[in-house]
Amino acid sequence: MDISGIFPPIPTPFNKEEEIDYVKLKENVQKWNEIPFKGYVVQGSNGEFAYMDPDERVKLVEKVREFAPKEKLIIAGAACEGTNQTINMAQKMASVGADSVLVATPCFYKSGMTKEALEMHYIKVADSCPVPVILYSVPANTGIDLPEEVIVNLSKHPNIIGLKDSGGNITKIGSVIHRTLKGRFQVLAGSASFLYASLSLGAVGGVCALANVLGREVCKLAELHKMGEHEKAKELQHQLILPNTAVTARHGIAGLKTAMEMFGYYGGPTRSPLLPLKQDQIDDVKHIFEPFL
């Protein structure tokens, strides 16, 4: 499976009662369908998967599969803390049409998440999963940076096809690409902030929160790199760092949803305990994204 390209990790639209609004979801997906994305990541961190019940998680994947054309890949976030829970979730997501599952590291019992425990977890999941597995390291949320050695070992598993790296350590990203089989194991940058640097080192694409808002610009950055337009790619990358930061580290998912509304998408509230932005934060988002309107 070729996962090269750009994937927005789509947020989940809620109404004021914090219930999923599938109509809004459909409208958002239809709008995204016009952008040259490779596909969608559903129920990644930006999808607030941590606040979803298992049934909701599966139904969301089913619905996005329904709303997206067949050629768009659906990568479903299947992470649970337990290994068996993760296997069940991955199987269900595959059964409703996910082309691949993205599995973040378990993280609650941090001291127990040794290299060996992480490796065994992924092997068991990959062994039982009907679709290919993508590893997912997102230390800002989990407190765990999937070790390079574990990634290299797991890259040899026939059902593990890649890594989404949201840690952004460019040395590690380069080293992983160098040490894994070219064409077999595919690395996706987990953020638009280090997308161009990752592509320069051999990453095949990116899963970028910013692509939910500025999808065309993020796709263009990947395209410029592909065409060898390095000077233009560098300039565009420079311009995307601040807006990307605004919808990730700086203002989180509420910031992402606020920015989406500026560009005609439905944003809506987050689920509690995440809070809505305050007025000065909203103003900051607006100020940062205005040049792109």
Q: Which of 55, 41, 32 is nearest to 11 (CA)?
A: 41
Considering the rule CB under 8 A, would residue 141 count as an interface residue with its own copies? yes
d(CA 96, CA 93): 5
Torsional class of 97: left (φ above 0), alpha (ψ -120 to 50), beta (otherwise)? left
Distances (CA, A) of 147 to 70, 138, 150, 152, 193: 34, 12, 5, 9, 21
Selected from 171, 181, 264, 280, the binder of its own copies by CB under 8 A is: 171
Binding mask 245-264 for its own copies (x = CB under 8 A): x---x--xxx----------
Q: What are phi and psi of 137, to 5 degrees?
A: -110, 120
Q: How far apart are the two ends of the chain, measured CA to CA in Å?
A: 35
Selected from 202, 216, 217, 232, the binder of its own copies by CB under 8 A is: 202
Considering the rule CB under 8 A, would residue 227 count as an interface residue with its own copies? no
- The response to whether 131 counts as a known ligand-binding position is no
Considering the rule CB under 8 A, would residue 109 count as an interface residue with its own copies? yes
Q: Is 20 helix (H, G, I), strand (E, B) or coil?
A: strand
Selected from 33, 85, 153, 159, the binder of its own copies by CB under 8 A is: 85
Q: Which residues are catalytic?
A: 136, 164
Annotated binding site for pyruvate: 207
Query: What residues line the site for its own copies (CB under 8 A)?
Result: 18, 45, 50-53, 81-85, 106, 108-114, 116-118, 120-121, 124, 140-143, 168-171, 174-175, 177-178, 191, 193-194, 196-197, 200-202, 228, 230, 234, 237-239, 241-242, 245, 249, 252-254, 271-275
